[in-house]
């Protein structure tokens, strides 16, 4: 039985492997970028309002800060209560050309001990959790040029 790969949120990312990108939107009038995507109204209060067009975000950025979750987060985060809790790192990444910070989980295997503010990371496809029918996909931040 093959399971379906389903994004945890529709329209936030696209592509596989090296082509994986986060997707935001850009206002055609003022060039403001939004992630998570705004599809109805531009939120720049000085903008008359333009069409919002889908735009891929930079694949690489620099760590603004990082932390981890040593305890099991509550629902709607999905975990298997039968399994021991495995902490994961969270990374806030500064994207230079978008001039914004985007949060994400670190790629599996990377802990806070592997991270530093200012370190370069890239966005990679990841799996949030799996059930019998579905593999729920997400984005991960992964330090560049680091093997673990």
Length in residues, the chain: 148
| C-beta closer to another protein: residue 89 or 121 | 89
Q: How far is the CB of 96 from another protein (least distance, A)?
A: 10
DSSP 38: P
Give the whole-angstrom CA distance, residue 95 versus residue 59: 8
How far is residue 40's CA from residue 130's CA, in Å, rounded to a whole number?
A: 32
DSSP state string for 96-126: TTTTEEEEEEEPTT--GGG--TT-EEEEEEE
Least distance CB 128 / another protein (angstroms) = 7
Phi, psi of 95 (to 5 degrees): -95, 120
Q: Which positions from 34 through 93 interact with another protein, judged by CB under 8 A?
A: 34-36, 43-47, 64-71, 73-78, 88-90, 92
Q: Is 124 in the site for another protein (CB under 8 A)?
A: no
Shortest Cβ 114–another protein spacing (Å): 12
Taking CB under 8 A as the criterion, the residue among 5, 19, 49, 103 binding another protein is 103
Residues that bind another protein (CB under 8 A): 8-9, 27, 30-36, 43-47, 64-71, 73-78, 88-90, 92, 97-105, 112, 116-118, 128, 138
């Amino acid at each position: 039985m093959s399971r379906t790969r389903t994004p945890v949120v529709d329209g936030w990312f696209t592509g596989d492997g090296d082509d994986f990108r986060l997707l935001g939107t850009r206002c055609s009038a003022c060039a403001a970028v939004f992630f998570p995507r705004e599809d109805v109204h531009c939120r720049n209060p000085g903008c008359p309002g333009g069409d919002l067009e889908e735009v891929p975000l930079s694949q690489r950025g620099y760590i603004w800060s990082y932390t981890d979750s040593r305890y099991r987060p509550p629902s709607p985060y999905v975990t298997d209560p039968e399994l021991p809790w495995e902490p994961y790192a969270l990374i806030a990444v500064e994207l230079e050309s978008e001039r914004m910070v985007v949060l994400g989980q670190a790629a599996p295997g990377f802990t806070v001990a592997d991270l530093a503010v200012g370190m370069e990371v890239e966005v990679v496809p990841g799996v949030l959790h799996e059930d019998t029918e579905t593999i729920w996909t997400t984005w991960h931040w992964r330090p560049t040029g680091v093997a673990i």
